[in-house]
Amino acid sequence: MTIKKLTKVGNSQAIVLDKTILAQMGLSEADEVQITLHGQQLVVTPVRPRIPDERLRESLDRVLDEYDELFRRLA
């Protein structure tokens, strides 16, 4: 457990996250996070970009084409 102190930034208050915490969460400086409240708990969740459906289909088609014979033998 880490205890942090709120820091004044303009008219707001901020919590500064150490590099080790960011690394454990897989975050870097410019990443977005989602903040949610559960009672009095503040939950910080990384926002991961979704792969557009079209790109996913293209990748899947490429894999299926490349390994078609292998998949047939395994079936």
> Which CATH number fits the domain that encloses residue 14?
2.10.260.10
Residue 58 covered by a domain: yes
pLDDT of residue 43: 94
pLDDT (mean) for 8-19: 94
pLDDT (mean) for 5-28: 93
Domains in the chain, number: 1
- Token readout for 38 is 């559960």
**Which pLDDT band, with edges at 50, 70 and 90, does 36 fall under?**
very high
Cα 27 → chain centroid? 7
Instruction: Give the residue numbers spanning the domain of 59.
Output: 7-74
Residue 1 covered by a domain: no
Averaged pLDDT of the chain: 90
pTM above the 0.85 mark? no
Give the CB-side neighbour count of residue 68, counting CA atoms within 13 A.
4
**Which pLDDT band, with edges at 50, 70 and 90, does 54 fall under?**
confident
Residue 2 covered by a domain: no
